Chain A
Amino acid sequence: MGKIKEIQAADIAQTVARLCQEANFFLGEDVVAALLRPDEESEVARQVLDQLLENARIAAAEHVPLCQDCGTAVVFLDLGQEVHISGGDLYTAVAEGVKIGYEEGYLRKSMVEQPFSARINTKDNTPPVIHTRIVPGEELKITVAPKGGGSENMSRFTALKPAQGRQGIIEFVVNAVDEAGSNPCPPVIVGVGIGGTAEMTMALAKVALLREVGKPSPDAEVAELEDTILRRVNALGIGPQGFGGRTTALAVHVETFPSHIASLPVAVNLQCHASRHREAVL
């Protein structure tokens, strides 16, 4: 029998609060490296990329959010099966952390109740969107990934016919980025989910965004697909902010899962350059 590890709900809340702020103030090193790309030939585009780097510098120095849209608080939990949470329940602790983090960090609260009618702001950016996986071990890994509305609104899902295959996927994804144009604040990171069932395909596309920017999939065939889509996307000419240029996407990340014999579901989740995610292990 493995030993049980106790984790206090209060520690979870505190950790989530810290991660919400860090994610909003500090742009990841991987994104910074990608924004420094030397091969953008449009002068205007290069200026935009420089301004994004300057924005990241100011945000880090002054603890001002990188973007005023501090996002929906999306939280991924990898919960070790040997962990026991004491002093409260897990999801309440996560929500409490979001509340504290957004208040203390002077982050914008963007969640509204009853989205189809009243749309009343909940005033503390709760509820978070929580995805939990039970994993072996005695640790709790928490990833906070605030997601802005501008890029999230450009999400796409389709159920392709299996016969449409690889080429169908490429066309669908490239088209999604093309249609999104300047709305999701390019340069973007393109998250793609292939396989599973509809809700899982979408989740795969979101999880793909957590990968280190530009790190290819370990599966060679998938990595090759990522390359092909990236080249196609960057040939669109949209460029940073849609002003025209080569850098429409910094990376394409594809995650796959087996699917039903009748199905080939594909989802696209676009991540703006303000790619924010921070993790901690308790």
Chain B
Amino acid sequence: MALCIRLPLHGEVIEKLRAGDQVRLNGIIYAARDAAHKRLVEALDRGGKPPFEIEGQTIYYMGPSPARPGKVIGSAGPTTSGRMDAYAPRLMAIGLKGMIGKGARSQEVKDAMRRYKAVYFAAIGGAGALISKSIKKAEVIAYDDLGAEALRRLEVEDFPATVINDIYGGDLYEEGKAKYSITLKSPTRVLASRISPEAIISGIPASGMRTTSMISSASGASGTGSSSVAR
């Protein structure tokens, strides 16, 4: 089911990927958070060379917990990608092809992804223990003084990720939400588990319903969302 990808990413694979695709990544990725990004970009600004060849590579927004003796790495899940938005377009301009993190990207980053043909994947936030199993090697290659935030080279096997933004403007966060957003009209559509139908019928203020439908239609799929739920 999930698409197996050998890194580095190249044009053909990138063109195939669509928002919502589940993938398993194999090969080398680089782990960096905001502090490392800041230094990377500062180095580029000074006309210096980055500590690794960025062309074609994938960066994982992650700062691990320390490895126990004999282990490759500690817990290793994604951090919030939005903090890297200020730096990402700059790196895509010099060839960065993949980003892995969690959370929505800015419009500027999404535009850059289309322009430079790069993909944004999500790893499961808060599943750092599980994700650590797919990391086979880890070494700090720069900015050692940053500790958890140092720049790391990771070798991954069957690293589980989901395509959020593809090069065609697809966005799983928007599409997934639109598909499941509902207007609270009848109790049959309400799935919160610990509520009795009586409470639902008596407890919905009219103005609340108006606002909910506004939110759903703003996401563009109020009609389809409701009908798919009703079925």
Contacts and interface: CB of A to CB of B under 8 A. Distances in A.
A binds B: yes
B162 A243 contact: yes
A68 B76 contact: yes
B104 to A, nearest CB: 6
A108 B195 contact: no
Nearest to B162: A243
Interface stretch (B46-54, B88-96, B122-130): B122-130
15 contacts: A42-B176, A66-B128, A68-B62, A108-B74, A121-B146, A121-B147, A170-B205, A182-B173, A230-B192, A234-B191, A234-B192, A237-B216, A238-B177, A239-B177, A243-B162
Interface stretch (B6-14, B108-116, B136-144, B196-204): B196-204
A19 B118 CA distance: 43
Interface string A167-186: 10011001000100111010
Contact of B125 (A40, A108, A230, A272): A272
B133 A246 contact: no
B16 interface: no
Given A68-B77, A228-B208, A242 B181 contact: no
A279 interface: no
Contacts of B17: none
Contacts of B183: 235
Contacts of B181: 235-237
Contacts of B35: 119
B225 A237 contact: yes
A183 B104 CA distance: 7
Secondary structure class of chain A's binding surface, majority of residues? loop
Interface in B161-194: 162, 172-173, 175-184, 189-194
Task: Return the 4 tightest CB-CB contacts between A and B, nearest first.
Answer: A244-B176, A237-B181, A237-B180, A185-B125
B192 A182 contact: no
Contact of A245 (B74, B180, B207): B180
A153 B83 CA distance: 11
Contact of A227 (B64, B172, B199): B199
B206 to A, nearest CB: 10
A163 B194 CA distance: 30
A174 B64 CA distance: 32
Nearest to B38: A119
Contact of A55 (B126, B146, B149, B178): B126
Given A52-B126, A228-B203, A235-B212, A68 B104 contact: no
A62 interface: yes
Contact of B129 (A66, A171, A242): A66
A182 B103 contact: yes
B217 interface: no
B130 A51 contact: yes
Contact of A68 (B75, B193, B194, B212): B75
Interface in A104-154: 106-110, 119, 121, 123, 148-150, 153
Nearest to B176: A244
Contacts of B162: 44, 241, 243
A63 B69 CA distance: 12
Nearest to A59: B129
A149 B76 CA distance: 15
B126 A185 contact: yes
A80 interface: no
Nearest to B65: A108
A153 B124 CA distance: 18
B102 interface: yes
B75 A65 contact: yes
B57 interface: no
B211 interface: yes
A181 B65 contact: no
A110 B180 contact: no
Contacts of A272: 125-126
B67 interface: yes
A227 to B, nearest CB: 5
A235 B103 contact: no
A231 B190 contact: yes
B193 A109 contact: no
